[in-house]
Amino acid sequence: MPDAASGPNAPLVLAGAGPSGLVAATLLARAGRRVTVHEKNATVGARFIGDFQVIEDASSPSESVPALFARLGLPAPSWRPATTAEFFDSRLRRVVIRSREPYGWFVTRGPDEGTLDRTLLAAALEAGVEVRFRSRLEPREADLVATGPQTPDGLARETTFATDGAERVRVLFDDRLAPGGYAYLFTSGGRGTFGCAIVRDLAGIDRRFDESLARLAEVEAVPMEGRRDAYSFMNFALKDEARRDGRDAVGEAAAFQDYLFGLGMRYAIESGALAAEALLSGRDYQAAQRAAFARRQRVSLVNRFLYESGGNLGLSLFMAVAARVDFRRFLGGWYRPGPVRLALAPLVARLWRNRGRCAHRLPDGHWCRAREREIQAPALGRIA
Ligand SMILES: Cc1cc2nc3c(=O)[nH]c(=O)nc-3n(C[C@H](O)[C@H](O)[C@H](O)COP(=O)(O)OP(=O)(O)OC[C@H]3O[C@@H](n4cnc5c(N)ncnc54)[C@H](O)[C@@H]3O)c2cc1C
């Protein structure tokens, strides 16, 4: 643990006011610690545009997302359970998937009232956390680093807009249009999000976005008024140590992410809570994060490998099976660290070993995929 955190009453300094940093700060402040969070932007959620995101609720069948929030004493953001969706394959064939219990919870992200970011900020302030905006902090100066992704392992372009009142959850699985990723359209309560997420050909994100949008418009021309667009990226890496520049790190600053679908919010919340608990109890955060996440992360790498190797045929098969069973249980099966997936993990890690430059500022010895050429992608220059 860093020096500042060593005394039980020493003030704590955190870098980053995303979900991971705000959850950690709230729990620390509630336990009586003096906590300052430095946020480089003028608001929380500055890289998001009011877009819908899903907190997945399939990876931990024993604890639902509302139960997780309740256990941590976090206020629920304005959220909506996801129990159904329409999936489309590369030939635009449609299946409907359903689950009895929610497989996820839709929240909005960004600086506005009602978003996950604003809800967690309010909880932190109420707990007595001081949040300093427009204040960049070097990770090595922080007791806990929660600064989000640092290099693109995956890239997304999104648009948010005003629309009609219809509820839509549509996902397009077409490896030709969204290489290694997918496109999605969510509408609810007169607001909508369309996004295209990819892990290959990052420089081609604009063409990928336009073509996926046009393809889903063949299903239905959804009204989109007052569009706002943004680019953003996500991090994934396997590691023994969740540290940046020698400091304990949480959320995507430590490259915690579900690599199958690029879902990082549950990891951000859970790792933020684990780090707070470690700081309060004096227990070893690194041991705790390894116990909680290492197997899940390895399985997520294998899942990504299977996802990308299967191509459009594999994606159609995935959809067909998903439509026949309860989707939450189906997804839970993918996340379960079973012996076959765990055995495959070292093989996949070897096959995809990074032999190029790595831009993650994690400790030596971590694993990530080579992304050298894509790091130069012109589109990345436009990311906030
Ligand atoms: C387009 C897109 C769609 C996504 N959809 C989903 C989804 O549906 N479901 C899901 O679970 N996940 C999704 N994710 C991932 C999810 O948004 C992230 O995993 C999550 O926000 C990570 O939280 P965090 O606290 O680690 O980082 P962030 O939310 O990135 O917060 C980090 C904060 O640190 C601040 N910061 C950075 N550097 C410094 C510094 N030096 N000093 C001070 N402050 C600093 C940043 O400004 C930011 O506010 C999506 C990501 C993208 C890009």
Q: Is residue 279 part of a domain?
A: yes
Task: Report the residue among 157, 231, 252, 362 best suited for mutation to probe ligand 1: largest number of ligand atoms under 8 A from its CB.
Answer: 252
d(CA 288, CA 294): 10
Q: Check which CATH number belongs to the domain holding 19 and give it.
A: 3.50.50.60
Task: Report the residue among 39, 79, 138 best suited for mutation to probe ligand 1: largest number of ligand atoms under 8 A from its CB.
Answer: 39
pLDDT at 378: 46
The CA 149 to ligand 1 mean position distance, Å, reads 7
The CA 363 to ligand 1 mean position distance, Å, reads 20
d(CA 376, CA 155): 13
Reported as a single tens digit per residue, the pLDDT across 264-289 is 999 999 999 999 999 999 999 999 99
- Domains identified in the chain, total number: 1
- Number of H helices and E strands in the chain, helices first, is 9, 16
d(CA 253, CA 15): 10
Q: Is residue 181 lining ligand 1, measured as CB closer than 6 Å?
A: no
pLDDT at 361: 82
Q: Who's near 118: CB < 8 A, 6+ residues apart?
A: 44, 45, 77, 111, 112
Q: Is residue 108 part of a domain?
A: yes
CA 278 to chain centre: 23
Q: How confident is the model at residue 246 (pLDDT cuts 50, 70, 90)?
A: very high
Mean predicted lDDT score pLDDT of the chain: 93
* DSSP H or E stretch at residue 122: helix 116-126
Q: Is residue 77 part of a domain?
A: yes
Range of the domain at 14: 3-82+102-148+237-292
Residue 363 predicted with pLDDT over 90:
no
Q: Is residue 21 part of a domain?
A: yes
CA 338 to chain centre: 23
The CA 253 to ligand 1 mean position distance, Å, reads 9
Q: How confident is the model at residue 72 (pLDDT cuts 50, 70, 90)?
A: very high
Greater model confidence, 8 or 293? 293
Q: Is residue 250 part of a domain?
A: yes
**By alpha-carbon position, which residue is closest to atom 18 of ligand 1?**
264
Q: Is residue 203 part of a domain?
A: no
Q: Which atom of ligand 1 is nearest to the CA of 233?
A: 53
pLDDT at 188: 98
d(CA 303, CA 259): 8
Q: Is residue 319 part of a domain?
A: no
Mean pLDDT for 53-78 is 97
Q: How confident is the model at residue 6 (pLDDT cuts 50, 70, 90)?
A: low
Q: Is residue 209 part of a domain?
A: no
